Amino acid sequence: MPKIFSGVQPTSIPTLGNYLGAMKNFVTLQEGNDCIYCIVDEHAITLPQDPVEIQKNIHNLAALYLAIGIDPKRSILFIQSEVPCHAQLGWIMQCVSYMGELERMTQYKDKSQGKNAIPAGLLTYPPLMAADILLYHTDLVPVGADQKQHLELTRDLAERFNNKYGEVFTIPEPYIPPVGARIMSLAEPTKKMSKSDKNKKATIFTLDSEKDIIKKIKSAITDDEASIRYDREQKPGVSNLLDIYSLCSGRSVDDLVSAYQGKGYGEFKTDVAEAVVGMLKPIQEKYNNLIESSELDEVLDEGAEKAYAIARKTLKDTEQALGIGRIN
Ligand code: TYM
């Protein structure tokens, strides 16, 4: 069966962008594939985190993974730092990487901008991500469009290693959805929706209350043309709401555009909000039942054990190919 791997950083409650661009597909890909999903806490500390907050976020993210429909009987769910092979292969991938290619990563450029003390982990973030993926002989990596460049680097590093030391790694493909790969900020629809946006109206979080979701969508920036049509360039705000509406309702963008011919933005936004609330409500209910349950620790213990069994073999093969440690 094809192998799937992906991860989410426990830096806050995931956003609607994280869910629609990536996590929703984690669930559907469980059908017919071997899936491994990770809480990438080592990636989260590439920028300083409050220890109490990140601990809470790890727990919450585990609950959310299950609430959206990750089935621990079918898929492996684990915490990155609990499988030491990630940091170990991450180091090896750093040794395979060139400074120039790491410095060219747009996420590195964005996140290091304006800092006079740049954590080295921001630069070496992509080799660790490559390690995550390569440890499990992953075929397909479901991510949003912002991770495409990291995926290309992962492929380059794997090919570079294989060419030099022998075929150890599977070359992974990104799985980027045709709609939803880049959900935009509600306040500035030419910018990606992001967890860390300072503008509280820009981002919907998956655990937001109904009232907050309605408020945020009602205040979403549109344009003054007063017509509902899809045009990412000229009408980024309306197009973003159409994408969100389509993904939350299961109706196609074309269908929505014809249904809202001649209707105003007020009515449209009310219906978008209703679709988002309707989609998130059952997830939030499951989340609330899971958050206090002991099931979470059991799932994470079992996940770490299963992930380790796979990862240690790939790490050993990599070390043997490099000739480090004792060969047996
Ligand atoms: P993170 O935690 O920033 O985001 C998790 C996933 O959500 C996607 N995403 C979006 N998709 C659509 N619209 C948006 N506005 C939006 N914002 C975020 C991201 O593309 C991502 O798929 N580097 C990864 C974490 C990671 C990883 C991995 C992923 C570490 N190791 C191995 C895959 C495989 C990240 O920053 O995720």
DSSP annotation string for 112-163: HTT-SS--HHHHSHHHHHHHHHHTTT-SEEE--GGGHHHHHHHHHHHHHHHH
Band of residue 306 on the pLDDT scale cut at 50, 70, 90: very high
Give me the amino acid identity at 29.
L
Q: Contacts for 288-296 with beta carbons within 8 Å, 24 or more apart?
A: 290/63, 290/66, 290/67, 291/59, 291/60, 291/63, 295/66, 296/59, 296/62, 296/63, 296/66
Compute the chain's Rg from CA coordinates.
Answer: 21
Residue nearest to atom 16 of ligand 1 (CA): 17
Residue 231 confidence (pLDDT) above 80: yes
CATH (domain of 299): 3.40.50.620
Band of residue 249 on the pLDDT scale cut at 50, 70, 90: very high
Is 146 annotated as a binding-site member? yes
In whole angstroms, give the CA distance from residue 87 to residue 107.
20
In whole angstroms, give the CA distance from residue 35 to residue 97.
27
Average pLDDT over residues 221-236: 96
Is 132 annotated as a binding-site member? yes
Task: Give residues with Cβ within 8 angstroms of 32, minimum separation 6.
Answer: 1, 2
Q: Which among 245, 306, 292 is positioned nearest to 270, based on CA atoms?
A: 245
88 and 24 in one domain?
Answer: yes
Residue 328 confidence (pLDDT) above 80: no
Contact 130, 93 (CB under 8 A): yes
How many CA atoms, within 13 angstroms, populate the side-chain half-sphere of residue 146?
17
44 and 166 in one domain?
Answer: yes
Whether residue 216 is contained in a domain is answered as yes
Owning domain of residue 153: 3-180+294-322
In whole angstroms, give the CA distance from residue 163 to residue 94.
17
Is 106 annotated as a binding-site member? no
Tell me the CA–centroid distance for residue 146 and ligand 1, in Å. 7
User: pLDDT tens digit string along 132-179?
Assistant: 999 999 999 999 999 999 999 999 999 999 999 999 999 999 999 999
How many CA atoms, within 13 angstroms, populate the side-chain half-sphere of residue 186?
26
- 72 ligand 1 Cβ < 6 A: no
Give me the amino acid identity at 309.
A
Tell me the CA–centroid distance for residue 183 and ligand 1, in Å. 12
Q: Which residue has the tokens 């099931």?
A: 295
74 and 17 in one domain?
Answer: yes
Residue 207 confidence (pLDDT) above 80: yes
- 153 ligand 1 Cβ < 6 A: no
CATH (domain of 238): 1.10.240.10
User: pLDDT tens digit string along 29-63?
Assistant: 999 999 999 999 999 999 999 999 999 999 999 99
Tell me the CA–centroid distance for residue 324 and ligand 1, in Å. 32
What number of other Cβ atoms are within 10 A of residue 111's Cβ? 18
Q: At what angle do helices 51-68 and 265-290 cross, to 10 degrees?
A: 100
Whether residue 188 is contained in a domain is answered as no
Whether residue 328 is contained in a domain is answered as no
- CB-count burial class (<10 Å; 0-12, 13-18, 19+) for 41: buried
243 and 158 in one domain?
Answer: no
Give whole-number Cα distances, 34 to 6, 142, 203, 255, in Å. Answer: 12, 13, 32, 34
Q: Which among 151, 94, 83 is positioned nearest to 123, based on CA atoms?
A: 94
Band of residue 206 on the pLDDT scale cut at 50, 70, 90: very high
Residue nearest to atom 18 of ligand 1 (CA): 18
Residue 253 confidence (pLDDT) above 80: yes
113 and 26 in one domain?
Answer: yes
Residue nearest to atom 22 of ligand 1 (CA): 143
Atom of ligand 1 nearest to the CA of 132: 32
Give me the amino acid identity at 179.
V
96 and 48 in one domain?
Answer: yes
Mutate to test the pocket of ligand 1, among 143, 182, 239 (most ligand atoms within 8 A of CB): 143
Average pLDDT over residues 214-223: 98
Q: What pLDDT is stored for residue 63 in this prediction?
A: 98
Residues forming the active site? 111, 192, 195
Q: What pLDDT is stored for residue 327 in this prediction?
A: 79
Chain centre distance of CA 246: 20
User: pLDDT tens digit string along 268-289?
Assistant: 999 999 999 999 999 999 999 9
Q: What pLDDT is stored for residue 17 in this prediction?
A: 98
Tell me the CA–centroid distance for residue 14 and ligand 1, in Å. 10
Residue nearest to atom 33 of ligand 1 (CA): 6
Whether residue 15 is contained in a domain is answered as yes
Q: What pLDDT is stored for residue 201 in this prediction?
A: 97
Whether residue 192 is contained in a domain is answered as no
Whether residue 204 is contained in a domain is answered as no
124 and 266 in one domain?
Answer: no
Whether residue 250 is contained in a domain is answered as yes
313 and 218 in one domain?
Answer: no
User: pLDDT tens digit string along 11-27?
Assistant: 999 999 999 999 999 99
Whether residue 270 is contained in a domain is answered as yes
Q: For the chain, how many structural domains are there in total?
A: 2
Residue 70 confidence (pLDDT) above 80: yes
Average pLDDT over residues 92-109: 98
220 and 81 in one domain?
Answer: no
Atom of ligand 1 nearest to the CA of 15: 17
317 and 279 in one domain?
Answer: no
Residue 300 confidence (pLDDT) above 90: yes
127 and 18 in one domain?
Answer: yes
Adjacent-strand bridge partners of 37: 6, 77
3-class secondary-structure state, position 7: strand
Predicted TM-score of the model (pTM):
0.97
Average pLDDT over residues 87-97: 98
Average pLDDT over residues 63-72: 98
Tell me the CA–centroid distance for residue 4 and ligand 1, in Å. 14
Contact 206, 283 (CB under 8 A): yes
Q: What is the ipTM of this complex?
A: 0.99
36 and 60 in one domain?
Answer: yes
